[in-house]
Amino acid sequence: MTVDEQQEAVPEIKKNEHESFTRRGFVTAAAVVVGGAYAAAIGYPIYKYLHAPVDQAIAEAKNNSIELKDADKLPMGSTLTFMFKQHPALLIHFDDGTWVALTAVCTHLGCTLSYQSPSPLIICPCHGGQYDPHTGKNVGGPPPLPLTKYDVQVLAGKVVVTQA
Ligand code: FES
């Protein structure tokens, strides 16, 4: 190969290197974009899964009351079960016209409670724990603590239950 031929070959080599770099750069950029898309596709649901309880806890912390629409029409001697702060709760309208709201989670092992008026007791179906439906006080069986009692406001068209 003569010197002239070598000089002509040099630009060809540079051209090939330039093309090679461009192809490599494109492949690298494509890999970054695809990798980022995969990471986002996998990471976002995980982030939402892990962050959702935090969002919920923040929302609950701000919301210490619940409005039960049309619950003011609950007949005397009836009970309404509703969810309050992610737990079942009881709204009891006694025969004497008084209202009581209690958590419906047994303080023994967490079984869900129900109440049939005019029974003198709320009885846990799991181990027979007994509570006073007017106060939530634990009066028999294994429950170590009373039920949480909520404030009740009866308004036109709704009942507002508030945790003190
Ligand atoms: S869970 Fe209610 S008495 Fe045991």
The domain ranges of the chain are 1-62, 65-162
Report the residue among 124, 130, 131 best suited for mutation to probe ligand 1: largest number of ligand atoms under 8 A from its CB: 124
Q: CA 119, 122, 128, 130 torsion: positive or negative?
A: negative
Is the whole-model pTM more than 0.75? no
- pLDDT given at position 30: 81
| Cα 112 to middle of ligand 1, angstroms | 9
Mean pLDDT by 10 residues, the chain (164 residues): 56 56 78 81 73 65 87 96 95 97 98 95 98 98 98 96 92
pLDDT of residue 20: 60
Ligand 1 centre distance from Cα of residue 38 (Å):
48
CA–centroid distance, 160 to ligand 1, in Å, is: 28
1 C-alpha vs ligand 1 centroid, how far in Å? 97
Position 120 scores a pLDDT of 96
Instruction: Assign domain 65-162 one CATH number from 2.40.440.10, 2.60.40.10, 2.102.10.10, 3.40.50.300.
Output: 2.102.10.10
Residue 90's pLDDT is what?
98
Give the distance (Å) from ligand 1 centre to CA of residue 39: 46
Q: Ligand 1 pocket by C-beta < 6 Å: which residues?
A: 106, 108-109, 111, 124, 126-127, 129, 141-143
